[in-house]
């Protein structure tokens, strides 16, 4: 039954109970409900934190509370995968306006727990506060086995192959469709909740990748970032990029003057697809979920060419990007 | 030199560099600047997350950017101490309006790093995003040594002594003074940055405490919470509470009709002093920084008496409390 009360009417204990939900049992020394969670032994622990802000990252008229929760978890899980680990635990801090109906909090919590479960993770703690806008801050954690080398962003070497999971551009196309009033569809769903490549971070590590990151700010921008950190340049081959015919369809539906250019922009500069971008040395078997899309070479650190032409990355700047406003 | 640009003008990379500062080197497998941090081996890891929101927890006309950073870290460190551990690592997600001057971000970062250092912790990662209000979400972590038992909130038994670090009521009195226009003073400083009892969580654990929590929502409220979780009642003796003559002075300065009643309210229901509240079994040596302020007994779980009289806790409700608004 939908709780008819608002968050302010129900009070902290009741709302925390809704947020906490009924998570699966864990064998941690201390789970949810104490001052802090206590995780069990680990040789190394990957930790990432990320904040999702209403108005900047989502609008509640274009998405659902459930998808906000799923996306908040997904984008953090993605960062843990990008170190070559699996995500096993998350803690979630939530800020809500006092007039939020408790039923919406239940949907948010449902999304948080569902996406955690999809990723193989459990929510072990959180925080609740009031604010003028909805804010969800997730911290995701995952263990690395004893002796495992984390996949850093700065390990690519000249000659390594550039490889990517997933199809870039879908999230950006989905956002464009949403903003134009097309409320639903497969691209819109990718924008609302990116599909994190669960297991692919570990697969890349076991296969012998030399570097790994996730694509959250745009393919070119994140590729350039990985190349810069590694002190190499990168040559991208667009013909080798996994494509989706729905991108061109979306560009036409939106009445783009140059649909091909718009698709290219989505693919190269659109962020938040949360694919994994890896460097694999020559001679290493690239896991099947990765498509080889170019090669790193000696050169100006961070320089990126696309089909041989130098290219300046666009993409998302978190200090600058106005989001939906 | 003060950077004259705004956050939006400077862009993500520049602002992240300011936030990251120049943290001390750590021997973690991966530090700041990658997709995620990687912490070294640990038998058990305490994890706590907490969000500080402008308007709800602070107002920038009543505090400083530096103190916002210090307080965000302090309140999270406090939760790690409350499990009987020391805090060694924090990650920090920050949301800022685009028109925030970069100089203010530097002050915020200075406070974050200073408080982390005071606690014996290092900032190993973070996130930056834009928002309409300032939000700081800290996740604090600390290891527990092999075989150490975390101090849960539900371990108090009838007969255990109630013990507290610090002086309750200072933060609430400081807030009242600030709201009445008294811009500075020792109580106001406690409100801006609570003094976390670094080392006292571990001291309580080594001494043999049976339960531990921190006082963030009010002494009675948190005492009742610990008692309820433990299935016991609690009898508080106000005459044994550590006092501060400045509380009575503040009540008079504010022109309270009944200054004694106001002080009592601050002491019993004022939150955010971040003292540690412990249960110590009979026969255990209570560490010197803890004052014994009463005793747990068999009874209605969560029931609290003050000097023998039943008492209903007031205090802070995160879903309901309007903060400064």
Pick A171 or A318 by higher pLDDT: A171
Are A134 and A169 part of one and the same domain?
Answer: no
SS3 B24: coil
Element (DSSP H or E) covering residue B304: strand B304-306
> Is residue B73 domain-resident?
yes
Residues A53-78 pLDDT 10s? 999 999 999 889 999 999 999 999 99
> How large a percentage of chain A has pLDDT more than 90?
82
Element (DSSP H or E) covering residue B309: strand B309-310
Q: What angle in degrees, to the nearest 10, is found between the helix axes of A170-179 and A245-253?
A: 20
Are A76 and A170 part of one and the same domain?
Answer: no
Are A140 and A173 part of one and the same domain?
Answer: no
Nearest Cα neighbor of B167 from B149, B148, B147, B190 is B190
Domain encompassing residue B188: 161-310
CATH number at residue A67: 3.30.1330.10
Our CA-based measurement puts residue A181 at a distance from the nearest CA of chain B, in whole angstroms, of 24
> Is residue A155 domain-resident?
no
What 8-state DSSP symbol labels residue B23?
A: P
Are B165 and B246 part of one and the same domain?
Answer: yes
| Average pLDDT, rounded, for chain B | 92
Residues B183-236 pLDDT 10s? 889 999 999 888 899 999 999 999 999 999 999 889 999 999 999 999 999 999
Mean per-residue pLDDT for A255-264? 96
> Is residue A56 domain-resident?
yes
Q: What is the pLDDT of residue B12?
A: 86
Inter-chain touch A213–B35, beta carbons under 8 Å: yes
Inter-chain touch B44–A50, beta carbons under 8 Å: no
Give contacts of A53 with chain B, Cβ < 8 Å: 95, 129-131, 135
Residues B268-299 pLDDT 10s? 998 788 899 999 999 999 999 999 999 999 99
Mean per-residue pLDDT for A282-304? 97
> Is residue B318 domain-resident?
no
Are A118 and A237 part of one and the same domain?
Answer: no
Are A227 and A165 part of one and the same domain?
Answer: yes
CB nearest to A93's CB, from B34, B127, B137: B137
CB nearest to B323's CB, from A96, A130, A150: A130
> Is residue A316 domain-resident?
no
Mean per-residue pLDDT for A307-318? 81
Sequence-distant (6+) residues with CB within 8 A of B5 are B14, B101, B102
| Banded model confidence at residue B33, pLDDT cuts 50, 70, 90 | confident
Distances (CA, A) of A167 to A150, A171, A270, A274, B47: 25, 9, 11, 10, 35
Is the model's pLDDT at B321 over the cut of 80? Answer: no
Give contacts of B82 with chain A, Cβ < 8 Å: 35-36
Is the model's pLDDT at B122 over the cut of 70? Answer: yes
Our CA-based measurement puts residue B315 at a distance from the nearest CA of chain A, in whole angstroms, of 12
Find out whether B165 and B241 touch, Cβ atoms under 8 Å.
no
Give contacts of B35 with chain A, Cβ < 8 Å: 48, 79-80, 82-83, 153, 212-214
Is the model's pLDDT at A103 over the cut of 70? Answer: yes
Q: CB neighbours (10 Å) of residue B152?
A: 23
Mean per-residue pLDDT for B112-134? 94
Which of B78, B79, B319 to mutate to probe the A interface, most A CBs <10 Å? B319
Is the model's pLDDT at B322 over the cut of 60? Answer: no
Is the model's pLDDT at B70 over the cut of 90? Answer: yes
CB nearest to A80's CB, from B36, B127, B140: B36
Q: What is the pLDDT of residue B1?
A: 54
Q: What is the pLDDT of residue B325?
A: 36
Q: Please say which residue of B104, B119, B144 terminates a domain.
A: B144
Q: Please say which residue of B91, B113, B144 terminates a domain.
A: B144
Which of B6, B11, B14, B35 to mutate to probe the A interface, most A CBs <10 Å? B35
> Is residue B89 domain-resident?
yes
Find out whether B134 and A132 touch, Cβ atoms under 8 Å.
no
| Banded model confidence at residue A305, pLDDT cuts 50, 70, 90 | very high
Our CA-based measurement puts residue A257 at a distance from the nearest CA of chain B, in whole angstroms, of 30
Is the model's pLDDT at B240 over the cut of 70? Answer: yes
> Is residue A220 domain-resident?
yes
Is the model's pLDDT at A42 over the cut of 80? Answer: yes
Are B186 and B300 part of one and the same domain?
Answer: yes
Inter-chain touch B129–A51, beta carbons under 8 Å: yes
Q: Please say which residue of B114, B144, B174 terminates a domain.
A: B144
Inter-chain touch B47–A39, beta carbons under 8 Å: yes
d(CA B178, CA A88): 43
> Is residue B319 domain-resident?
no
CB nearest to A129's CB, from B43, B150, B318: B318
Inter-chain touch B30–A126, beta carbons under 8 Å: no
Total residues found in chain B within this entry: 325
Nearest Cα neighbor of B36 from A201, A24, A291 is A201
Inter-chain touch B83–A35, beta carbons under 8 Å: yes
CB nearest to A11's CB, from B139, B146, B317: B317
Minimum mean pLDDT among A236-250, B184-198, B236-250: which range?
B184-198
Q: What angle in degrees, to the nearest 10, is found between the helix axes of A259-269 and A219-230?
A: 40
Is the model's pLDDT at A324 over the cut of 70? Answer: no
Are A106 and A242 part of one and the same domain?
Answer: no
Provide the β-strand partners of residue B110. Answer: none
> Which phi and psi angles does B295 have, rounded to 5°?
-150, 145
Sequence-distant (6+) residues with CB within 8 A of A78 are A194, A196, A214, A216, A274, A276
Sequence-distant (6+) residues with CB within 8 A of A203 are A287, A289
Is the model's pLDDT at A322 over the cut of 60? Answer: no
Minimum mean pLDDT among A128-142, A258-272, B10-24, B71-85: which range?
B10-24
d(CA B292, CA B279): 9
Mean per-residue pLDDT for A299-324? 80
Strand order in the sheet with A44-53: A122-130, A89-96, A135-144, A44-53, B37-39
| Average pLDDT, rounded, for chain A | 92
Inter-chain touch B320–A96, beta carbons under 8 Å: no
Are A12 and A117 part of one and the same domain?
Answer: yes
Inter-chain touch B56–A131, beta carbons under 8 Å: yes
Mean per-residue pLDDT for A158-167? 97
Residues B153-193 pLDDT 10s? 999 999 999 999 999 999 999 999 999 999 889 999 999 88
Q: What angle in degrees, to the nearest 10, is found between the helix axes of B219-230 and B259-269?
A: 40
Distances (CA, A) of B301 to A319, B163, B229, B230: 49, 18, 7, 7
CATH number at residue A267: 3.90.650.10
CB nearest to B36's CB, from A10, A43, A47: A47
Is the model's pLDDT at A320 over the cut of 90? Answer: no
pTM of the full predicted structure?
0.91
Residues A75-97 pLDDT 10s? 999 999 999 999 999 999 999 99
Are A171 and A114 part of one and the same domain?
Answer: no
Are A132 and A203 part of one and the same domain?
Answer: no
How many CB pairs below 8 Å do chains A and B form together? 259
Q: How many domains in chain A?
A: 2
Inter-chain touch B38–A29, beta carbons under 8 Å: no
Distances (CA, A) of A124 to A88, A248, B94, B217: 10, 42, 22, 21
Are A288 and A210 part of one and the same domain?
Answer: yes
SS3 B214: strand
Q: What is the pLDDT of residue A318?
A: 67
Q: What is the pLDDT of residue A325?
A: 36
Residues A176-222 pLDDT 10s? 999 999 988 999 999 988 889 999 999 999 999 999 999 988 999 99
Mean per-residue pLDDT for A228-234? 97
Nearest Cα neighbor of B225 from B323, B317, B288 is B317
Find out whether A72 and A187 touch, Cβ atoms under 8 Å.
no
| Banded model confidence at residue A234, pLDDT cuts 50, 70, 90 | very high
> Which phi and psi angles does A247 have, rounded to 5°?
-65, -45
Quickly list DSSP for B37-79.
EEE--BSEEEEEEEEEEBTTTB-TTTS-HHHHHHHHHHHHHHH
* Nearest residue in B to A105, CA atom: B319
Give contacts of B320 with chain A, Cβ < 8 Å: 7-8, 11-12, 98, 130
């Amino acid at each position: 039954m939908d709780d008819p009360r608002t968050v302010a009417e129900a009070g902290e204990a009741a709302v925390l109970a809704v947020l906490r939900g009924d998570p699966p049992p864990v064998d941690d020394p201390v789970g949810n409900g104490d001052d802090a969670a206590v995780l069990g032994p680990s040789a190394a622990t990957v930790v990432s934190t990320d904040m999702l802000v209403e108005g900047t990252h989502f609008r509640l008229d274009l998405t659902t509370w459930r998808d906000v929760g799923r996306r908040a978890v997904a984008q953090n899980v993605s960062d843990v995968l990008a170190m070559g680990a699996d995500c096993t635990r998350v803690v979630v801090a939530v800020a809500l306006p006092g007039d939020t109906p408790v039923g919406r909090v239940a949907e948010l919590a449902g999304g948080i727990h569902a996406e955690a479960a999809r990723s193989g993770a459990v929510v072990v703690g959180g925080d609740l506060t009031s604010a003028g806008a909805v804010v969800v801050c997730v911290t995701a954690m995952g263990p690395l086995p004893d002796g495992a080398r984390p996949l850093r962003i700065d390990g690519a070497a000249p000659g390594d192959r550039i490889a990517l999971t997933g199809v870039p551009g879908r999230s950006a196309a989905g956002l464009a469709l949403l903003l134009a009033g097309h409320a639903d569809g497969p691209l819109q769903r990718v924008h609302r909740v990116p599909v994190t490549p669960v297991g692919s971070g570990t697969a890349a590590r076991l296969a012998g990748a030399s570097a790994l990151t996730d694509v959250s700010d745009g393919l070119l921008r994140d590729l350039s970032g990985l190349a810069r950190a590694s002190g190499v340049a990168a040559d991208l081959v667009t013909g080798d990029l996994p494509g989706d015919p729905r991108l061109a369809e979306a560009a036409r539906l939106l009445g783009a003057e140059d649909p091909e250019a718009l698709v290219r922009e989505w693919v190269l500069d659109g962020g938040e697809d949360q694919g994994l971008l890896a460097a694999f040395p020559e001679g290493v078997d690239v896991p099947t979920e990765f498509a080889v899309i170019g090669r790193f070479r000696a050169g100006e650190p961070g320089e990126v060419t696309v089909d041989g032409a130098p290219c300046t990355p666009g993409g998302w700047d978190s200090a600058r990007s106005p989001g939906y406003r």
